[in-house]
Structure 1
Amino acid sequence: MSKAVRGDITGVILVGGKSRRMGVDKAFLELGGKPLFQRILELFLENFSRVILAGGDPERFAEYGLPLLPDLYPGSPLGGIYTALSQADTEAVFVSSCDLPFPNPAVLRYLCSLKDGFDAVVPETPKGYEPLFALYGKNCLDPIRSQLESGDFCAYAWYSQARVRVVSPAELASLDPDGTAFCNVNTPEQFAEVAAGAAKRRPAE
């Protein structure tokens, strides 16, 4: 089934991570014969008419032909969010890290559908906020910049300064029944576990 492509939201993939615990670039780890980065990219191209990259080495991603924005505040995902949001042509961006094994299209579309009336739409799991698969509007720029300039790089410490729609685990349960939408991998052991279970997953619709 084809999905509508949104022109009012820019898709942003954060590619500036160092993958220190993994030991290799997580973006290009292959799962099911496809790099993790490409799994995110394909989802974004299906849902957004604009897709950009933030942070990282342009040469690593040159083959994809996408704009890559150097971080204005290097060293943290929050800096990448700020960079992309400040330079996007749209009033809102949807941000994802580049290493989600199972990015969920139903969750993405639901989060985007909630943007009206809010500065940000952020999912929450039993482990806490998921700021790296979330939507942010231009009104977030001032509180994010203030926090970055104070030296605090926490991705969600500024939420109290904006109208943030937190999406609860209960809201997401029917869209993510196997609980893998926000799975991420930081170590070789975690990736091996994810890869071993990947064949048992049914694709998200």
Structure 2
Amino acid sequence: MITGAVLAGGKSLRYGRNKSLEVFEGRRLIDRIAESIRAFCAPVFIVANDLSPYYDVDATLVRDIIPHQGPLGGIFTALLFSPNEWVFAKATDMPFLVPALVEMMLECRDGYDVVVPVSRGQHEPLFALYHRRCTPAVGQALEQGEKKIVSFYGKVRVHALAEEQWRRADPEGLSFLNVNTPEDMEKLKWI
């Protein structure tokens, strides 16, 4: 089993309010995401600086060990608290998950520390698998003031899942759609 980490510590500046609490198809984004990863993750963590909005979420709440470090800090926290060797990290503003893609990623993990899809030439680090072997490299990146998740990738073994590979599991790329503005949320209704 692997640990699921829903990273919910974002400031939602472009959205204007906590987007993880927005309702889509009758459920809050945070609940929808926690439920979707529960199929292959146990436990499921909600990692955030402020846990108070999430007391009613059916997941284990974990406060960021180093506050205000963004998603890199959230991944660090999840790795430290995980009872499992692997953590699946997912952003709270990515409402879709195609299980076949996660299964593909799990099949690719042997011999690697990170399994991360590449979409349009960019890593998708908020929909990725991280082995606890990454913990020292993530901690060092945080000590150096890094904010970008990919900043530690050069120090670990990364399997970058090519777009032509992952599109066999998720042809539409739904797993990588994210919600940054209220307009983005409106667009989801048409998907």
Q: Give the TM-score range, shorter chain.
A: over 0.9
Taking structure 1 as the reference length, the TM-score comes to 0.88
Q: Can you give the 5+ residue segments of structure 2 that lack an aligned partner in the other structure?
A: none
Map 1:16-165 → 2, pairs under 5 A: 16-75=9-68, 76-165=70-159
Mapped partners of 2:27, 2:41: distance in 1 = 21
> Contact between 1:94 and 1:135, CA under 8 Å: does it hold in 2?
yes
SS at 1:80's partner residue?
helix
Q: For residues 66-116 of structure 1, what are the alpha-carbon distances to aligned partners after superposition, in whole Å with 9 as ceiling and x for unaligned? A: 322211222210000001101111111111011212222111121122221
Count of aligned pairs between the two proteins: 190
What secondary structure sits across from 1:157 in the alignment? helix
User: How far apart are the structure 1 equivalents of 2:24 and 2:80?
Assistant: 33
Question: 1:201 is matched with which residue?
Answer: none
Query: SS in structure 2 opposite 1:40?
Result: helix
Q: Distance in 1 between matches of 2:7 and 2:105?
A: 18
TM-score calculated relative to the size of structure 2: 0.94
Deviations 1:101-140 (A, max 9, x none): 2222111121122221111101110050100010001111
Q: Aligned residues: percent identity?
A: 35
When the two chains are superposed, the root-mean-square deviation of aligned CA atoms in Å is 1.3
Q: What is the DSSP-based 3-state SS (H/G/I as helix, E as strand, rest coil) of the residue aligned with 1:139?
A: helix
User: How far did residue 17 of structure 1 move?
Assistant: 0.9
SS at match of 2:64: coil
- Partners of 1:145 and 1:49 in 2: how far apart? 24
Contact kept in structure 2, 1:39 and 1:103, CA below 8 Å: no
Are the equivalent residues in 1 in contact too, given 2:43–2:59 (CA < 8 A)? no
